[in-house]
Structures are given as structure tokens and as C-alpha cells.
């Protein structure tokens, strides 16, 4: 395990204490918070990509064409 030191100002220390869970060390809180931040960043990136695709006229037309083709193949 790598050890990382950083200078924590008062506001960050308050945030760290607020984020901490019962029985969790500050190191545990930092590790969990960094992992959570990574997940949130990935979700935000996926959301931005979905919004972009949903607004792409060419992609929307292709989706409509595929839906129409699939509808023709329905058994009932």
C-alpha cells in the first residue's frame, strides 16, 4: 500500500469528518471518498454521452429505421 501525505485545510478537514462513517478511520473515509468520486465521474461521463447521442439527428434517424425494420419482423 502506498502512503500519500497531503495538507488539509480546515474546510477540507470538516468535510472529511462529515463524510466519515461510524467506526471509520480518516484513511478509510479518504479511500472510500476517492472511489465514490471515480464512480460519480464515470456516471457523469456516461450521462453526457447519452445526452449527446440522444441529440444526434443522424443517430435518431438510424434508430427509427432499425425500429421500423424490427417492427416488420414481428411475429404478432
- The DSSP result for the chain, as a single string, is ---------HHHHHHHHHH--TT--HHHHHHHHHHHHHHHHHHHHHHHHHHHHHT-HHHHHHHHHHHHHHHHT---
- CA-wise closest residue to 21 among 7, 3, 36: 36
pTM for the whole structure:
0.69
In this prediction, residue 69 carries a pLDDT of: 87
Task: Chunk the chain into consecutive blocks of 10 residues (it has 76) and report each block's average pLDDT, rounded to whole numbers.
Answer: 93 96 95 98 97 90 89 70
pLDDT at 75: 62
Q: What is the pLDDT of residue 42?
A: 98
CA 20/CA 12 separation, integer angstroms: 12
Sequence ranges of the domains in the chain: 10-72
Amino acid at each position: 500500500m502506498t502512503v500519500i501525505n497531503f495538507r488539509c485545510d480546515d474546510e477540507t478537514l470538516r468535510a472529511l469528518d462529515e463524510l466519515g462513517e461510524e467506526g471509520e478511520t480518516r484513511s478509510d473515509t479518504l479511500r472510500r471518498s476517492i472511489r465514490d468520486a471515480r464512480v460519480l465521474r464515470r456516471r457523469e461521463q456516461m450521462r453526457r454521452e447519452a445526452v449527446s447521442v440522444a441529440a444526434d439527428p443522424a443517430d435518431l434517424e438510424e434508430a427509427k429505421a432499425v425500429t421500423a425494420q424490427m417492427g416488420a419482423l414481428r411475429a404478432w
